[in-house]
Copies of this chain bind each other. A is one copy, B any other.
Amino acid sequence: MATIYEVAAAAGVSPATVSRVYNGVPVSAEKAELVRAAVAELRFTPNRTARSLRRKNAEVIALVIPDIENPYFTSLARGVEDVAQEAGYSVVLCNTDEDPGKEARYLEIAVAENMAGVILAEADGRADLSELIARSRPVVAVDRSTLFDLDSVILDNRAAGVAAARTLINSGYRRLACITGPAEIDTAEERAEGWRSVVSPSGSLERPDDHLRYSSFRVEGGRDAMAELLALDPAPDAVVVTNNLMGVGALQVLSEAGRVPPAFGVAVIGDLPFTTLTPNATSIVRLPARDMGTTAARMLIERINGDTEPARTVILPHEVVAAASGAPAL
């Protein structure tokens, strides 16, 4: 690749002038034109590595998420990518697999590469962001909040849990179980707490937590938990599932057991990806995954551009899509 020196020589100006043309520093129209011509001739593109080194700031943002195979995070990533690309940033995708070790390694790389900022959906709620903060690299938390005082884009998880449980109650189900994610993950706990708050006062279950299962946020997790719940006595007649993939697993098991909705009530928090079931018998609490991505990316870019307001928290709304049909008559 041609360098800025070659362009300068070809245009008969100094390298500094070429640089100025690229950085919006005033240059006489005449010289700017010379530079543009030379750039076109030599097919010059500035070397981003050298630029980052000098500027101490790469035009790259890191997106750190726990599971790239979950369509929820995939939509979120899509949102981030759209906004970032628009603003001239590239996105480095960091899949942590819910592993704090991998997460820490990626955060270190973000520092070592002088990345402009980080959008983080934390694995375990204990990430050490002090290095990033010490170098004033902006970080925006998304989906899950952190120990640090950061801009965050989150959901009202408790309310989502309440909404999911309520829609089942409204459909006439009475003994609601719940399948949620690992207890260490706040979102899992909060959504379950929403379910509990609906189920407890109604008194339809004596000890609600007997009908609560913690599992992994994956299809297998939903399957395992659902199988256990079906074996209970007294058996539940409906279930709140706090994550999309678990929801798929639960529906698979129910279907194998011949108890598809509405025979068994199901409310899932998070969109069921690519459903082929059409008579919509399961209730969905839709989460604005893509919006979360675009919002987080926009906030991050504002910070990168020097915004120093105190940390903001944006809570995006969910949307309840109730099942078309209710519980079978008792």
* B274 with A248: CB separation less than 8 A: yes
Across the interface, which residues of B come within 8 angstroms of A109, CB to CB?
A: 48, 90
Residues 230-259 of chain A, each 1 if its beta carbon lies under 8 Å from chain B, else 0: 000000000000000100100110011000
Asked if B95 contacts A90 (CB within 8 A), the reply is no
Q: Chain A contact residues (Cβ within 8 angstroms of B): what range?
A: 35 or more
Chain B residues positioned under 8 Å from A170 (CB to CB) = none
B68, B69, B95, B277: the one contacting A277 at CB < 8 Å is: B277
> Which residues of B have CB within 8 Å of A63?
93
Q: Report yes or no: B274 in contact with A255, Cβ–Cβ below 8 A.
A: no
A317: Cβ under 8 A from any B Cβ: no
Measured CB to CB, the closest approach of chain B to A43, in angstroms, equals 8
What are 28 contact pairs spanning A and B, CB under 8 A?
A1-B135, A45-B112, A47-B112, A47-B114, A48-B109, A48-B112, A49-B58, A60-B92, A68-B77, A68-B81, A69-B74, A71-B71, A71-B273, A77-B93, A81-B93, A90-B106, A92-B92, A219-B274, A245-B274, A255-B276, A255-B277, A255-B278, A273-B273, A273-B274, A274-B274, A276-B276, A276-B277, A277-B277
